[in-house]
Amino acid sequence: MSYSNPTTICYTIRAAAVDTGGTLDTIIGPSGMKGRVVDVGYVVTVDIVGAASSIIVGSSGDTNAYATALSIPVSSAGAGGNGATLVADHEIVADTLVIVTTDNGATSGDADLFVTIDWY
């Protein structure tokens, strides 16, 4: 399989607490396949209060290796967005753990998060 014909998987993290710093979830792709993050999105489920929180996608050695700073602004439940800054030409090595984290900007709030990865 090549990058021109990838297997696309959208990973969903339900009700992620974006007001707590650290790891929200981990992802590992299909065995032996490399990948690239193609999108990160969110839908607010509990009002985001205090300040914006950023969603970051990376690895244990580089927390923003694949996507940086999708900001979830102070907003009400039902708000949504996508468009994280994707790290160009940074391939997920086969069988590497992908880590989704937050920077703990908000004082409260939850969101459903979506991380879409092309595996090849």
Q: How far is CA 110 from CA 14, 66, 67, 80, in A?
A: 9, 22, 20, 12
Q: Report, as an integer, the average pLDDT of 29-45.
A: 95
**pLDDT (tens digit, 9 = 90+) per residue, 89-115?**
789 999 999 999 998 889 999 999 999
Q: What is the pLDDT of residues 52-95, one digit of tens each?
A: 999 999 998 888 899 987 899 999 999 999 988 888 778 999 99
Positive/negative CA dihedral, 9, 108, 72, 100: negative
Structural fold of domain 15-119: Immunoglobulin-like (2.60.40)
Cα–Cα distance between 51 and 108 in angstroms, integer? Answer: 9
Q: What is the pTM of this model?
A: 0.91
